[in-house]
Every structure is written in C-alpha cells, then in structure tokens.
C-alpha cells in the first residue's frame, strides 16, 4: 500500500530542478529501482551488515519500512547534527548507505554528520518518505570537511565538469559529490551550486521507477 501511495504522490511534486541554472539531467538504467516488500529489503540490510532498528512508531508520513541506523556501516558512522535526534530513513535509502560509505572512504571519511534525514515537512519532499539525506559534514583523520565552509561553488560550470579545487577540503567534497552522481545510485545530488537553501549541505535522494538523475 505504501509503495502505491508513493507512486501516486511523487508525480505531483513540483519540478524545482527544471528551473535551476547549470543543472544536468542524466538517464541510466542503474537509477531505476522499485520499493521492495519489507522482508526483502530488511534481508538485504542484514546481508550487507547494516546495523538498524526497525522503526515501529507511527511517523505520520508515507515512509516505506522506516529504520533507524544504530552503528557504523563499512567503517563509517552516521550521526545527526542535532545530538537529540537519530538517523531515520526508509529501508531503501539505508540499503544504499554501504555504497555511500565506500564513496566517502575514498576521501578517508570515517564519520558523516547528517543535517536531515526523515522529517515530516515540507509536504512535497522525499525526506517525508525517508528517501532523502542532507549531508552536512565529513570527518577525516586530517580534519573535518564542512560543506558550508569548504565547498567551492562553480556558477560558471556544471558541477562535475568544473575544475578540481586547489584546496584539499574543497577537492575532497567535490569528489564525494561527483562520485555519488556518477554512480547513478541516487536520483538527485544537490550541492551548494543548487541554491542558497543548500549552501550548508549535500542533498541526495532516491525516486522509485525513474531512470533520471539530476546533478547540481
């Protein structure tokens, strides 16, 4: 039932991405996926050794199989910017975190600070479905990579065709964003290039039954 509800809701969302300068759309069969039955998705988390707690509380949102992350994934911890909150996402988003962990580990990241995961607002948002993450900062042995402080915007270039930044922190952030985009595992990869509302984080989301990938 939730999968059908999501399928009805997503086409009603206003397409803000279509009016963003410098945005790039890709299409890929790798981007296409379907919401799996709960047992199948949770079994995939178990197989990939993703530590989680099945959320049984009513989230009051159409979130397919919500889970709370309870430990590190492939050696990378995920915690929230607000210490009184936990990282809650749909099982389908959680199933992509082993890959996301591998991507950030290329930049020696061992901890990801999440600004926002599941939330109830706004109504037209993949966050309500647990299918979006806002990534605020990344800890490495050399120092913290903070999107707000270290990401270098490139208004004259599309995000991943821009020259690699000289600063090591900016370069690491650029590689993380563009490696996630190149994987086609996420339907959107938004950086501070997107708009001022995304100045302090990377936004990634997943859209079922859609072969499009948007990058800015």
DSSP state letters, 190-205: E-TTS-GGGTT-EEEE
Predicted confidence (pLDDT) at residue 111 exceeds the cutoff of 90: yes
pLDDT digits (tens, 9 = 90+) for 118-168: 999 888 899 999 999 999 999 999 999 999 999 999 999 999 999 999 999
- What's the confidence (pLDDT) of residue 27? 97
- What's the confidence (pLDDT) of residue 142? 98
Tell me how far apart the alpha carbons of residues 187 and 204 are, in angstroms, rounded to a whole number: 7
- Give the number of other CB atoms < 10 A from CB of residue 77: 16
Tell me how far apart the alpha carbons of residues 25 and 17 are, in angstroms, rounded to a whole number: 9
**Number of residues assigned to the chain:** 216
pLDDT digits (tens, 9 = 90+) for 26-74: 999 999 999 999 999 999 999 999 999 999 999 999 999 999 999 999 9
pLDDT digits (tens, 9 = 90+) for 78-100: 999 998 999 999 999 999 999 99
Tell me how far apart the alpha carbons of residues 17 and 37 are, in angstroms, rounded to a whole number: 30
- What's the confidence (pLDDT) of residue 123? 83
Tell me how far apart the alpha carbons of residues 34 and 183 are, in angstroms, rounded to a whole number: 17
One-letter-per-residue 3-state SS of 57-123: CCCCCCCCCEEEECCCECCEEEEECCCCCCCEEEHHHHCCHHHHHHHHHCCCCCEEEEEECCCCCCC
The model's pTM is: 0.94
Q: Domains (ranges, CATH) in the chain?
A: 2-215 (3.30.1380)
Predicted confidence (pLDDT) at residue 107 exceeds the cutoff of 90: yes
Predicted confidence (pLDDT) at residue 1 exceeds the cutoff of 80: no
């Amino acid at each position: 039932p939730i999968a059908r509800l999501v399928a009805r809701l997503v086409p009603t969302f206003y397409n803000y991405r279509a009016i963003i300068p410098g945005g790039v759309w890709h299409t890929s069969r790798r981007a296409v996926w379907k919401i799996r039955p709960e047992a199948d998705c949770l079994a995939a988390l178990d197989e990939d050794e993703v530590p989680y707690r099945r959320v049984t509380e009513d989230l009051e949102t159409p979130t397919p199989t919500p889970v709370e992350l309870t430990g590190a994934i492939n050696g990378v911890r995920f915690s929230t910017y607000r210490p009184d909150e936990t990282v809650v996402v749909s099982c389908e988003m959680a199933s992509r975190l082993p890959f996301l962990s591998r991507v950030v580990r290329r930049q020696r990241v061992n901890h990801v600070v999440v600004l926002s995961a599941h939330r109830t607002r706004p109504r037209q948002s993949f966050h309500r479905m647990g299918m979006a993450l806002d990534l605020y900062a990344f800890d490495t042995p050399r120092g913290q990579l903070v999107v707000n402080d270290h990401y270098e915007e490139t208004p004259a270039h599309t995000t991943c065709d821009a020259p690699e930044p000289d600063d090591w922190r900016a370069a690491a952030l650029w590689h993380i964003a563009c490696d996630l985009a190149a994987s086609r595992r996420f339907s959107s990869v938004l950086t501070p290039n997107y708009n001022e509302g995304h100045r302090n984080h990377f936004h990634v989301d997943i859209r079922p039954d859609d072969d499009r990938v948007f990058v800015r």
